[in-house]
Amino acid sequence: MKQIFTIHLNQLRFHAFHGLYEAEKLLGNEFEVSVDVKYEAEPGIQTTINNTIDYVTLYQKVKEHMERPGDLLETVAQELAEEILKEFSIARYIRVRINKLTLPVAGIEGSAGVTYELHKNK
């Protein structure tokens, strides 16, 4: 019987310098990142971190990636998903959601974001 788990990191907050506009590159912005990583586990009860995805290591990947500026959120999400896939070979599905919490356009309230999904073929 297949055992499918999903590790979730939800609403992680970062101050980062992603964006096309010069002010975003200089001042930065607040971002919220959520990541889901689905994997198929070995049969039986999971009793060791070696057979799963360590959310501490996953968080470090997200943090390191958010510290590297990028122009488009789409690019940031895609590159992050690829890095996660390289780090965790057991990963089968990754969803990255990035929200920019303050928009650089006068008069617009709310946030903007992107969701990227990556499915690994067996």
- Rounded to two decimals, the pTM is 0.90
Cβ pair 90, 40 in contact under 8 A = yes
**Joined tokens for residue 86:** 């390289």
pLDDT in tens, 9-48: 999 999 999 988 888 888 899 999 999 999 988 887 877 7
The residue with tokens 């070995």 is 42
pLDDT in tens, 105-120: 778 888 899 999 999 8
Q: Is the model more confident about 53 or about 1?
A: 53
